[in-house]
Amino acid sequence: MSSSSIKTGAVGLTSFAATRTVGMTDVASWAPQTSEPLQFVTDLLGDAIAQPNPGVRVVTDPEEAAKSVAAEARSRVAAVLERFGDAPAVLLSGGVDSIYVAAVAVSLGARPNAITVVTEGQSDEGNAAVVAKALGLRHDVIRLSAGEVVDLAQEVMARLGTSELWEVTAGIPILAARRRLDIIDDLGAILTGSGADAIFGGGRKLSHAVDSDEARVELDHLIRAETAANFREARLVPHFYPALLGADAGRLVHVFQTVRWWQVTERFAPPVLFGVHDGRQIDKLALRIAAERELPAEVRSLAWAAKSPIQRSSGLMSVLAAAARTYAANLPGAQTYSDPRTEDAEAVATRLYLSILEHR
């Protein structure tokens, strides 16, 4: 499939805009379900994303919200599996988003090939392995050595044309996953949980009590800003996925990045997304409830596991930071007064910047 095939965001703008009504409480008014790999929601909805509308966040019962999440997840994944058929894969990071996507696919009768990319000795592998076994999935773990991470970083930069930290570290696991994707016969959809954080407030904390009007306004602002920045075509690297996956980019399915998902979650008030579980503050509450119910009993606890972005949890950032320290330690005179391998990060960053200035 050509790279142009994933640029579906500009198609159907009129029909999507026409379906939007204030509040979005009527399912019949939502956009039709889609089997497209992703939709550029910001481009499609325009002002509907940018304009604050906290009053639309009327769903306050986490149980009700979890039922909406479960229904939409099954509908979306079913549409994707029907379109792509063949042998699906799932990029299983070990976080709740990808775990839930894998569980939904299995409940619909699919057996996706699970692929996990980690650096040596990182914790992501454990959760992913336990879930894959419980779901009865073939699980391929790609463990990257420090040298392989550096090599992949260089290749990602060459493909993307940027050295921007978050773009490069997001690209490394995708490029590494090609080792397995390229040898799957009759590859179907490549499922990911990418995009869930943007619409569910993942990784965020509110500064106001969740049942307050102030929290509703704060949440509305956070999610609209996050969506506007991420769910659009004109990003720093618009060709990000085609550059990394080539013809398979059109198979990479961002399960949560659709207009319908935005319409489902736009109605969620703070108590639906933020709560307490076993004495710990958690995010993405409704999604976690839905995931717990979908998972086999022996792994339901993983629906509540905390996880950092894959760039950190996979160990990629720490490996590259260690490589930066080693590089700094080998600069002329670098170990005269202190050792860049052990000094504070500010000193290392300053050393590297001075080295850049020196060679301009």
Indicate whether 285 pLDDT > 50: yes
Residue 14, pLDDT score: 32
- Per DSSP, what are the bridge partners of residue 279? none
Q: Which amino acid is at 163?
A: S
Residue 338, pLDDT score: 95
Residue 35's pLDDT band (cuts 50, 70, 90) = very high
Least confident range from 18-27, 53-62, 285-294: namely 18-27
Q: Give mean pLDDT, residues 172-189.
A: 94
pLDDT digits (tens, 9 = 90+) for 36-72: 999 999 999 998 898 999 999 999 999 999 999 999 9
**DSSP label at residue 206:** -
pLDDT top residue among 11 and 147: 147
Residue 311, pLDDT score: 66
* Cβ partners under 8 Å of residue 60, min gap 6: 211, 269, 271, 272
Whole-number Å distance between alpha carbons of 197 and 308: 11
Rg of the chain, C-alpha, whole Å: 21
Indicate whether 10 pLDDT > 60: no
Residue 307's pLDDT band (cuts 50, 70, 90) = confident
pLDDT digits (tens, 9 = 90+) for 312-339: 667 898 899 999 999 999 999 999 999 9
193 class by beta-carbon count within 10 Å (0-12 exposed, 13-18 middle, 19+ buried): buried
Please count the other Cβ atoms lying within 10 Å of the Cβ belonging to residue 332: 7
The two tokens of residue 93 are 């990071």
Q: Which amino acid is at 128?
A: A
pLDDT digits (tens, 9 = 90+) for 240-257: 999 999 999 999 999 999
Indicate whether 1 pLDDT > 80: no
Indicate whether 17 pLDDT > 80: no
Residue 310's pLDDT band (cuts 50, 70, 90) = low
pLDDT digits (tens, 9 = 90+) for 135-160: 999 999 999 999 999 999 999 999 99
**Helices 316-329 & 345-358 angle (0-180, nearest 10):** 60
Please count the other Cβ atoms lying within 10 Å of the Cβ belonging to residue 151: 13
Q: Which amino acid is at 32?
A: P
184 phi and psi, to 5 degrees?
-80, 120
- Prediction pTM value: 0.88
Residue 315, pLDDT score: 81
Residue 110's pLDDT band (cuts 50, 70, 90) = very high
Residue ranges of domains in the chain, CATH in brackets: 3-310 (3.40.50.620), 319-358 (no CATH)
pLDDT above 90: percentage of residues in the chain: 82
Indicate whether 345 pLDDT > 70: yes
Instruction: Tell me the H-state helices in the chain.
Output: 13-19, 41-45, 47-50, 62-84, 96-107, 124-135, 146-160, 165-181, 196-200, 213-230, 240-245, 259-265, 270-273, 285-294, 310-313, 316-329, 345-358
Nearest alpha-carbon partner for 182 in 135, 140, 220, 227: 140
Indicate whether 4 pLDDT > 80: no
**Helices 124-135 & 96-107 angle (0-180, nearest 10):** 10
- Per DSSP, what are the bridge partners of residue 89? 113, 190
Residue 23's pLDDT band (cuts 50, 70, 90) = very low
Residue 360, pLDDT score: 83
**DSSP label at residue 127:** H
Residue 120, pLDDT score: 74
Indicate whether 11 pLDDT > 80: no
